[in-house]
Amino acid sequence: MNMEIATVNALPYEDFVNIFGNVVEKCPIITAAVWSRRPFVSLGAFEAAISEFIDALPESGKEGILRCHPDLAGRDLQSGTLTQESREEQTGAGMDALDSSEASRMARLNNEYKERFGFPFVICARMNDKATILRQLSERLGNERPVERARGIEEVKKICRLRLQGLVLIDALNKL
Ligand code: 2AL
């Protein structure tokens, strides 16, 4: 799909949520909330409305968003229960093609991360590959919790931006 922002602005909320409900993984409430911020002058304005909604949440809400994300190379990938968006991102980054030592390292680090922070490691898979994902995971494990919460949310916004760009045409004259 690739619709104009004017088409987005004209959507009834049921269609709007059906189409954009997963731009933040498993958080259709965010999409439902920003519907009332239309009309958006551009894709950038749509994205900014989502970003502002997220930023206004208490820290517990931001952690909740992180917890809606499936592990990279985790159980949902193995069992085929990822959302379509997530499956495409994870397979694009080679998460379905780890050798057994990479897979066990990923699983071990993902679990350590969750134990330390209480939310899963989130990174924009489409801007990374398996080497950079493993390196980031291991480096970010050394951060403090508030730093990691903010870092995870930054990644959520990158994932959101790329998902939105797959659905809405960028107006060349009106990028922001
Ligand atoms: C994901 C995912 O499913 N897609 C993506 O870009 N990142 N998950 C994650 N834990 O980072």
Minimum-distance ligand 1 atom for the alpha carbon of 86: 3
SS3 3: strand
Residue with tokens 């709007």: 16
pLDDT at 2: 86
Does residue 173 surpass a pLDDT of 90?
no
SS3 112: helix
pLDDT, tens digit (0-9, with 9 covering 90-100), for 45-87: 999 999 999 999 999 999 999 999 999 999 999 999 999 999 9
Tell me how far the alpha carbon of residue 170 lies from the centroid of ligand 1, in angstroms: 24
pLDDT, tens digit (0-9, with 9 covering 90-100), for 138-165: 999 999 999 999 999 999 999 999 999 9
pTM value is: 0.96
Average pLDDT over residues 34-40: 98
Closest CA to 129 of 92, 157, 100: 92
Minimum-distance ligand 1 atom for the alpha carbon of 83: 3
Closest CA to 153 of 112, 121, 176: 121
Looking at residue 114, its amino acid is: K
The CATH superfamily holding the domain 71-148 is: Oxo-4-hydroxy-4-carboxy-5-ureidoimidazoline decarboxylase (1.10.3330.10)
Residues belonging to the chain? 176
